[in-house]
């Protein structure tokens, strides 16, 4: 069931999206629904650390996991810098 309000505010849209997400979570296993997307995302790091697939599988996986962690650490660092800039600029 979806409720559409033409002049929804951000908070109303957020609440409607939350209801939709929770409804989907009640009906399906999220790990199953997102399995293909997660597999595709993780394959990016395997290709990054060993483009020719010459390393032993265990080493490829270890390096890909490290590359994934570095990716998310970079995102966290960028986010922290932006928050600090916004805080400094706030009156």
Q: How far apart are CA 67 and CA 78, in angstroms?
A: 17
pLDDT per residue of the chain (91 residues) written in tens, 0 to 9: 555 555 667 888 889 999 999 999 999 999 999 999 999 999 999 999 999 999 999 999 999 999 999 999 999 999 999 999 999 998 7
In this prediction, residue 11 carries a pLDDT of 85
């Amino acid at each position: 069931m979806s409720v559409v309000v033409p002049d929804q505010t951000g908070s109303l849209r957020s609440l409607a999206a939350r209801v939709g997400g929770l409804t989907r979570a009640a009906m399906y296993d999220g790990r199953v629904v997102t399995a293909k997307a997660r597999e595709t995302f993780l394959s990016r790091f395997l290709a990054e650390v060993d483009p020719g697939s010459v390393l032993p599988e265990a080493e490829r996986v270890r390096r890909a996991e490290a590359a994934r962690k570095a990716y998310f650490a970079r995102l966290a660092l960028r986010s922290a810098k932006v928050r600090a800039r916004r805080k400094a600029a706030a009156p």
